[in-house]
């Protein structure tokens, strides 16, 4: 177990460095930050000086080394666009993104699992077919279009929901949350729905196919033979066996949620990290871009590590398999 | 499980080598019509409709230059004064532009067919690329095992948790920077193919690796090895045909995802050039005119995209169920 | 404990809920102010925003007339010596008194290395304090337009800046945030309450403002939210979540106007959109013409000019909301002449000119264009591509984000063959454009934005004379002469002045300034 963790940690460092390198290569090509950091009347001389101060004229390897060095020290630099330390900026935006992702994932689970169970237990009913088809239509449109259509319908035509932002936000000191106010909940509905739609479809289909498979196993047949009620069989036995892969996939899908949050946040002006990142791209705000990428990489590395460890803790078969595999 | 079935068919295909090409085609056609896959296709009305839609859209895109009144990619053929013409049945519509025109005076019907061409090309090419890469690496990892396997699978592990859209964005950014600017518009489509392809090979690799590990211990592979067949030849001639089923399923779903990813990337500003719009670019342009009443600019391309993605997804679904004997 | 925090938070929400019934202005813009530091970035929105919190020696009324603000009056006592009499009894938001020391400090601060507003005082040699309420500015040369842009050179408090370690503006390279980046201490009609970049900035009325006796507005609180996505911003206005939003995309104006509760304020903007051509290289970077540069030939430039159907662009791309322009400046800039007309749109004449210049079959050339900077910039470029195609000139359009675009096109890289750009003369005077966009480029800053390298020594000489000529009539004559020369030589392909479009709720009255600055002190909410 400890060996596994150490091995994974080393891999993680390699991954982080790779991401940092890619992120860094990227900077060279996102454009010139200087042109946007100064007004139109700023002289060429001042522009050149600024470029020099930012170190944009230094050789690339030197820039990279400086960047890695600073990042390791926890110094992410100052945003070129809004002049604030990037670390603080990301910390401020983190709650918004995590809250949105969390609500979206929760929505996907709470709606997707029952729908999946229903479609598995009653595959021939028209409602099941409707679920399957409607959910597919939902993922057949680009996210940004769904978002705008929702805004048009619920925000403008019906006027039920706010069209942008987080609503009233309560500051708990270490965290800002919109989940303690009515306007906060109203604000999160549309973005969370837009973001969770894809995961919902995925989870529903996963639950359905897993359930269908489990329901055919001897184990269920025996349970039925033992005279257990269908309810006990379906929920006590079948569902329980379905949930492990569902939870794993949901965990791994967190990455997808956070990535698609870039688009959702842009459409709904949700003040999270994704919006910050997209604005950084437009502005060529190098410190923000790179730190976001490195942070996201760190995030995924940690998720992966946790999933791996959980696997080994939960499923003893895997341990044996790996030993056999290693023996080969 | 399904691999046993595939194994039988592979045993059959061993005899194929003695047939003439024509016989072989007829033979496989007969077998296809006779197969339960075809039966399940015929018996599912939804699937037949989905296949028909896919075929129509595909053919329409393929023959676009011959069945459209305008070449929307040729700026000389556009007239700005035609812009914002509504569809023919609306007030101010004209038979010249059946579905109306967009903001540049492009005939939407023509633009949709040409755009589908771009979208389908990006979709097919990137899936093919991902497939070749993923299948190749998966075979290699599964067959060789050991260090090769570890390295490939570690990379895959990391990448699968990293969201495809972000990877595509990164790769796109780097390629844009590396390629000379004056040529970029000419190769923009290929850059998209490469970035989407590189972002989605992992699923192929994982599936193929798993199957390969099962197959390589089967007697027929052992036998081939004993008679001194080259490993590459074994992999391609014996293992590959047996893992193609799930690869096809992943590929089909991947096609739908790739088309959507292209649309999303164009929303993020890294799609194909706006003078040669794909379906996604058309939607991205059209969404600006949703509030102003020129709904047709976004609705028609949006509906086409949704229809295409939905149909492909349904095909993928059906294929998955049809190839999964457990569900029969 | 946690419950208590919550209770307090809820109480705060309630109180805010009540005060929202007071006169709160909620408005949205497409971007955010980059900083609360008034010397950080010389950019319209940032400076316009801060102009509600900070004040300068002068200010502009809604129709852009200069009037006294922190200075009550001024006179030119020698050609190079200006005397300013400062307003007495003015207090900064933190309670400090405003005196001559603050002006001297602001002069030093605006000159510092990390300031982006150095140009405001580029002709000023030194500032002399005569007494606490009188200062003299000594200039290096006679400068008749010295104070033209001083309405956005805001005066900061010396004591406040020194106390908080903000004596110089934010450095792009340091590790620490400058205090002035998120805090402001001005003398203006509103004071900053809270600042969350990209999310929300809140200000409240300053009850101690020196001009409160004459105040026009009835606001108590202002909440600003940047909303980047066009449809989302329009939706926020239509659904009543903001009282005012700008810019309204031209295609959405009809919708906003036809809505009973919202309307659009339209006005001409001073920014001129134009296309520039590389006229200095011997061979174009992006073209199939080798060994020579077609743009060196005035006939080619004129041919491209006449291929552009500017009225079609106005009608379809700009929805009628642009003013086609024959000059590189718009009405409202000193030196504008409404009598000058565009070369007519005439594809046949264009083809003939191209044939005459030796390109009967046209040629191929690259066009660089931003896609997130000006109103419908990419659509304009696409339309131009299609129009040029009809006279045989194939344009390879490279539309890109402003980050990429400016890095590629501006000095020092000049990596383009044709480009689309917009320009607003900050001083509202022709000299800015003649000098900056038409002067033969050199190291002194002349022709810094003359990216195409157009060069006519006579125009250069005129630009020098215009700068220091104090006789208005003679000066105007020189300006007219300079424009006549550059227009005849087709130095650029001017397109139009885009329109300002502000969306407002019907219970709100605002005054639109042609420089697109939003002054809250003119806002009245019913």
- The domain segmentation of chain C, as residue ranges, is 1-31+189-261+506-526, 38-172, 269-499
The answer to whether residue A114 neighbours chain C at the CB level (below 8 Å) is no
What is the distance between the alpha carbons of residues A307 and B27, in angstroms, rounded to a whole number?
Answer: 48
The residues that bridge with C312 in the sheet, in sequence order, are none
Q: Which of A83, A85, A88, A194 to mutate to test binding with chain C, by most C CBs within 10 Å of its CB?
A: A83
Choose the closest CB to B291 out of C234, C382, C385: C234
What is the distance between the alpha carbons of residues A146 and B302, in angstroms, rounded to a whole number?
Answer: 10
Tell me the backbone φ, ψ of residue C137, rounded to 5 degrees: -110, 125
Element of type H or E holding C322: strand C322-324
Q: Are C202 and C36 in contact (CB under 8 A)?
A: no
Write out chain C residues lying below 8 Å of A266, CB-based.
228-229
- Chains near A with 3+ CB pairs less than 8 A apart are B, C
pLDDT digits (tens, 9 = 90+) for A262-288: 889 989 999 999 899 888 887 878 888
Q: Are C521 and C189 in contact (CB under 8 A)?
A: yes
Q: Which of C42, C199, C436 to mutate to test binding with chain A, by most A CBs within 10 Å of its CB?
A: C199
**Candidate from A18-22, A188-192, C480-484 with smallest mean pLDDT:** A18-22
Instruction: Report the 10 Å Cβ neighbour count for B237.
Output: 15
Pick the closest to residue A71 from A293, A304, A322 (CA basis): A293
Distance from CA of A275 to the nearest CA of B (A): 11
Tell me the backbone φ, ψ of residue C28, rounded to 5 degrees: -130, 145
User: C269-499: what CATH class?
Assistant: alpha beta
What is the distance between the alpha carbons of residues B3 and C218, in angstroms, rounded to a whole number?
Answer: 78
Provide the pLDDT for residue B37: 66
The answer to whether the Cβ–Cβ distance between B291 and C397 falls below 8 Å is no
CATH no. for C38-172: 3.90.76.10
DSSP SS3 for C495: strand
Distance from CA of C85 to the nearest CA of B (A): 51
Q: Is the pLDDT of residue A321 over 70?
A: no
What is the distance between the alpha carbons of residues C38 and C115, in angstroms, rounded to a whole number?
Answer: 9
The answer to whether the Cβ–Cβ distance between C170 and A77 falls below 8 Å is no
DSSP SS3 for B266: helix
Q: Kindly report whether the peptide bond that precedes residue C412 is cis, defined as omega within 30 degrees of 0.
A: yes
The token duo for B265 is 């990337």
- First-to-last alpha carbon distance for chain C, in angstroms, is 42
Provide the pLDDT for residue C105: 95
Q: Which of B173, B266, B291 to mutate to test binding with chain C, by most C CBs within 10 Å of its CB?
A: B291
The answer to whether residue A22 neighbours chain B at the CB level (below 8 Å) is yes
pTM (predicted TM-score): 0.83
With CA atoms as reference, the chain A residue closest to C176 would be A85
What is the distance between the alpha carbons of residues B144 and B136, in angstroms, rounded to a whole number?
Answer: 12
Q: Are C55 and C69 in contact (CB under 8 A)?
A: yes
Write out chain A residues lying below 8 Å of B170, CB-based.
22-23, 26, 293
Residue, of A245 and A92, whose pLDDT is higher: A92
* Cα four-point dihedral sign C279, C285, C286, C292: positive
ipTM > 0.90 for the complex? no
What is the distance between the alpha carbons of residues A215 and A211, in angstroms, rounded to a whole number?
Answer: 6
User: In terms of DSSP bridges, do strands C24-29 and C221-226 run parallel, antiparallel, or are they unpaired?
Assistant: parallel
Distance from CA of A327 to the nearest CA of C (A): 52
What is the distance between the alpha carbons of residues B156 and B202, in angstroms, rounded to a whole number?
Answer: 5
DSSP SS3 for C508: strand
Q: Distance between alpha carbon B52 and the CA centroid of its chain, in Å? A: 17
pLDDT digits (tens, 9 = 90+) for A169-189: 888 877 888 888 888 899 999
Alpha-carbon distances of C167 from A39, B288, C39, C159, C444, rounded to whole Å = 21, 45, 11, 10, 28
Task: Read off the DSSP letter of residue B298.
Answer: H
DSSP SS3 for B92: coil
Instruction: Write down all domains in chain A, each with its CATH number in brackets.
Output: 89-261 (1.10.3720.10)
Provide the pLDDT for residue C176: 75
Q: What is the DSSP string of A108-132?
A: HHHHHHHHHHHHHH-TTSHHHHHHH
Element of type H or E holding C130: strand C124-131
Provide the pLDDT for residue A316: 53
What is the distance between the alpha carbons of residues A183 and A170, in angstroms, rounded to a whole number?
Answer: 11
Contacts of A164 (CB under 8 A, 6+ apart): A268, A269, A270, C225, C227, C232, C233, C235, C236, C241
Q: Are C297 and C357 in contact (CB under 8 A)?
A: yes
The answer to whether residue A173 neighbours chain C at the CB level (below 8 Å) is yes
Average pLDDT of the segment spanning A198-223: 81
pLDDT in tens, chain C (526 residues): 344 444 444 444 444 444 445 789 999 999 888 899 999 888 889 999 999 999 999 999 998 889 999 999 999 999 899 999 999 999 999 999 999 999 999 999 999 988 888 888 988 999 999 999 999 999 998 888 888 889 999 999 999 999 998 988 887 776 678 899 999 999 999 999 999 888 899 999 999 999 999 999 999 999 999 998 888 899 999 999 999 999 999 889 888 988 889 999 998 888 899 999 999 999 998 889 999 999 999 999 999 999 999 999 999 999 888 999 999 998 888 899 999 999 999 999 999 999 999 999 999 999 999 988 888 999 999 999 999 999 999 998 888 888 778 888 888 888 899 999 999 887 788 998 999 899 999 887 788 889 999 999 999 999 988 888 878 899 999 999 999 999 999 999 999 998 889 999 999 999 998 888 999 999 999 8
What's the CATH superfamily of C1-31+189-261+506-526?
Periplasmic binding protein-like II (3.40.190.10)
pLDDT digits (tens, 9 = 90+) for C157-182: 999 999 998 988 887 776 678 899 99
Window 282-321 of C: residues touching A by CB (8 A cutoff) are none
Provide the pLDDT for residue A324: 38
Choose the closest CB to A38 out of C16, C116, C176: C116
Residues of chain B with pLDDT under 50: 1-16, 327-328
A298 burial level (CB within 10 Å; 0-12, 13-18, 19+): middle
Provide the pLDDT for residue C373: 85
C-alpha count within 13 angstroms, C-beta hemisphere, residue B33 = 5
**Candidate from A37-41, A75-79, A249-253 with smallest mean pLDDT:** A249-253
* Cα four-point dihedral sign C326, C328, C331, C334: negative
Write out chain B residues lying below 8 Å of C373, CB-based.
none
Alpha-carbon distances of B34 from B37, B41, B244, C385, rounded to whole Å = 8, 12, 20, 56
What is the distance between the alpha carbons of residues C367 and C395, in angstroms, rounded to a whole number?
Answer: 6
The token duo for C268 is 């001409």
Provide the pLDDT for residue A177: 84
What is the distance between the alpha carbons of residues B164 and B181, in angstroms, rounded to a whole number?
Answer: 25
The answer to whether residue A158 neighbours chain C at the CB level (below 8 Å) is no
What is the distance between the alpha carbons of residues B201 and C379, in angstroms, rounded to a whole number?
Answer: 36
Choose the closest CB to A142 out of B164, B176, B283: B283
User: In terms of DSSP bridges, do strands C418-423 and C493-505 run parallel, antiparallel, or are they unpaired?
Assistant: unpaired
What is the distance between the alpha carbons of residues A281 and C404, in angstroms, rounded to a whole number?
Answer: 10
Instruction: Write down all domains in chain B, each with its CATH number in brackets.
Output: 21-327 (1.10.3720.10)
Q: Say how many residues make up chain B.
A: 328
What is the distance between the alpha carbons of residues A289 and A295, in angstroms, rounded to a whole number?
Answer: 10
The token duo for C299 is 């006939």
């Amino acid at each position: 177990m400890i060996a596994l963790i150490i091995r994974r940690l080393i891999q993680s460092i390699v991954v982080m460095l790779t991401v940092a390198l890619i992120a860094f290569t990227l900077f060279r090509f996102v454009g010139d930050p200087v042109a946007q950091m100064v007004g139109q009347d700023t002289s060429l001389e001042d522009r050149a000086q600024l470029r020099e101060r930012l170190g944009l004229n230094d050789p690339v390897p030197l820039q990279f080394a400086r960047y890695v060095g600073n990042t390791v020290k926890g110094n992410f630099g100052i945003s070129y666009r809004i002049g604030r330390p990037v670390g603080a900026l990301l910390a401020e935006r983190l709650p918004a993104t995590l809250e949105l992702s969390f609500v979206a994932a929760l929505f996907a689970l709470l709606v997707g699992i029952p729908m999946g169970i229903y479609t598995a237990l009653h595959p021939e009913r028209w409602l099941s077919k409707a679920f399957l088809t409607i959910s597919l239509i939902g993922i057949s449109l680009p996210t940004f279009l769904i978002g705008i259509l929702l805004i048009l319908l619920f925000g403008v035509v019906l006027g039920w929901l706010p069209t942008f932002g987080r609503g009233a936000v309560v500051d708990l000191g270490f965290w800002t949350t919109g989940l303690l106010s009515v306007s906060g909940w109203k604000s999160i509905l549309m973005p969370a729905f837009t973001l969770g739609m894809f995961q919902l479809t995925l989870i529903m289909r996963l639950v359905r196919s897993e359930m269908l498979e489990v329901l055919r196993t001897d184990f269920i047949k025996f349970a039925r033979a033992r005279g257990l009620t269908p309810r006990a069989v379906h929920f006590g036995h079948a569902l329980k066996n379905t949930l492990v892969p569902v939870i794993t996939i949901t965990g791994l899908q967190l990455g997808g949620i956070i990535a698609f949050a870039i688009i959702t946040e842009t459409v709904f002006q949700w003040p999270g990290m994704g919006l910050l990142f997209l604005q950084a791209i437009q502005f060529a705000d190098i410190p923000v871009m790179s730190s976001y990428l490195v942070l996201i990489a760190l995030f995924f590395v940690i998720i992966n590590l946790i999933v791996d460890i959980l696997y080994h803790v939960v499923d003893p078969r895997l341990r044996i398999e790996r030993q056999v595999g290693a023996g080969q | 499980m399904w691999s046993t079935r595939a194994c039988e068919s592979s045993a059959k295909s061993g005899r194929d080598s003695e047939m003439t090409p024509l016989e072989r085609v007829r033979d496989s056609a007969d077998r296809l019509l006779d197969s339960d896959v075809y039966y399940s296709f015929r018996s599912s009305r939804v699937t037949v409709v989905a296949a028909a839609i896919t075929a129509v859209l595909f053919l329409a895109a393929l023959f676009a230059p011959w069945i459209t009144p305008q070449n929307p990619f040729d700026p000389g053929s556009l007239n700005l004064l035609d812009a914002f013409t509504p569809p023919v049945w609306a007030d101010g519509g004209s038979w010249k532009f059946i579905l109306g025109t967009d903001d540049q005076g492009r005939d939407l019907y023509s633009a949709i067919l040409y755009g589908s061409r771009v979208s389908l090309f990006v979709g097919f090419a990137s899936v093919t690329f991902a497939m070749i890469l993923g299948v190749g690496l998966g075979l290699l990892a599964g067959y060789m095992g050991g260090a090769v396997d570890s390295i490939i699978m570690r990379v895959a592990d990391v990448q699968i948790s990293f969201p495809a859209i972000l990877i595509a964005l990164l790769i796109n950014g780097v390629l844009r920077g590396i390629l000379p600017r004056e040529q970029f518009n000419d190769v923009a489509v290929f850059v998209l193919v490469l970035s989407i392809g590189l972002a989605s090979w992992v699923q192929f690799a994982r599936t193929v690796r798993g199957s390969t590990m099962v197959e390589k211990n089967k007697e027929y592979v052992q036998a081939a090895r004993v008679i001194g067949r080259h490993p590459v030849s074994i992999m391609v001639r014996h293992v590959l045909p047996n893992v193609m089923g799930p690869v096809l399923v992943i590929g089909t779903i991947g096609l739908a995802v790739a088309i959507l990813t292209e649309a999303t990337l164009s929303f993020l500003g890294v799609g194909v050039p706006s003078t040669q719009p794909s379906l996604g670019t058309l939607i991205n342009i059209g969404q600006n005119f949703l509030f102003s009443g020129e709904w047709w600019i976004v609705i028609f391309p949006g509906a086409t995209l949704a229809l295409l993605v939905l149909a492909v997804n349904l095909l993928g679904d059906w294929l998955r169920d049809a190839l999964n004997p457990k569900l029969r | 404990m946690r419950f208590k925090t919550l209770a307090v938070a809820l109480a705060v929400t309630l109180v805010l809920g009540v005060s929202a019934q007071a006169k709160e202005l909620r408005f949205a813009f497409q971007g955010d102010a980059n900083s609360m530091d008034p010397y950080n970035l010389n950019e319209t929105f940032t400076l316009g925003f801060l102009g509600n919190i900070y004040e300068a020696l002068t200010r502009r009324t809604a129709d852009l007339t200069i009037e006294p603000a922190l200075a009550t009056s001024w006179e030119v006592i020698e050609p190079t010596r200006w005397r300013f009499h400062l307003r007495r009894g003015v207090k900064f938001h933190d309670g400090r008194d405003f005196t001559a020391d603050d002006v001297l400090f602001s002069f030093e601060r605006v000159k510092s290395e990390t300031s982006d507003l150095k140009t405001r005082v580029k002709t000023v040699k030194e500032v002399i304090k005569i007494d606490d309420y009188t200062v003299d500015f000594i200039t290096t040369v006679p400068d008749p337009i010295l104070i033209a842009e001083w309405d956005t050179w805001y005066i900061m408090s010396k004591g406040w800046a020194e106390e908080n370690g903000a004596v110089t503006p934010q450095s792009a390279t340091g590790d620490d945030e400058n205090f002035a980046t998120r805090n402001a201490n001005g003398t203006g009609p509103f004071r900053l309450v809270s600042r969350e970049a990209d999310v929300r900035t809140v200000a409240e009325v300053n009850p101690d403002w020196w001009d409160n006796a004459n105040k026009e507005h009835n606001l108590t609180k202002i909440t600003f939210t940047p909303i980047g996505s066009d449809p989302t911003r329009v939706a926020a206005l239509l659904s009543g979540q903001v009282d005012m939003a700008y810019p309204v995309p031209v295609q959405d104006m009809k919708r906003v106007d036809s809505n009973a509760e919202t309307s659009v304020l339209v006005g001409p903007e001073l920014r001129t959109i134009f296309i520039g051509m590389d006229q200095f290289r011997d061979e174009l970077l992006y073209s199939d013409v080798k060994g020579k540069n077609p743009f060196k030939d005035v006939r080619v430039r004129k041919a491209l000019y006449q291929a552009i159907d500017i009225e079609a662009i106005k009608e379809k791309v700009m929805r009628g909301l642009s003013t086609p322009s024959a000059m590189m400046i718009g009405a409202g800039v000193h030196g504008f002449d409404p009598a000058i007309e565009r070369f007519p749109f005439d594809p046949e004449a264009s083809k003939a000119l191209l044939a005459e210049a030796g390109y009967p079959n046209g040629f191929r050339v690259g066009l660089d264009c931003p896609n997130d900077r000006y109103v419908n910039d990419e659509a304009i470029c696409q339309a131009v591509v299609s129009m040029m195609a009809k006279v045989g000139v194939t344009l390879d359009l490279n539309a890109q984000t402003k980050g990429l675009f400016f890095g590629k096109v501006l000095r020092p890289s000049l990596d383009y063959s044709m480009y689309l750009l917009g320009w607003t003369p900050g001083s509202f005077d022709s000299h800015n454009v003649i000098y900056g966009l038409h002067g033969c480029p050199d190291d002194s800053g002349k022709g810094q934005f003359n990216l195409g390298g157009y060069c006519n020594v006579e125009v250069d000489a005129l630009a020098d004379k215009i700068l220091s000529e104090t006789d208005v009539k003679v000066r105007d004559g020189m300006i007219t002469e300079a424009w006549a020369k550059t227009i005849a030589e087709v130095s650029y392909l001017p397109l139009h002045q885009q329109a300002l479009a502000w969306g407002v709720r019907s219970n709100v009255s605002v005054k639109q300034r042609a420089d697109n600055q939003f002054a809250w002190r003119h806002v009245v909410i019913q």
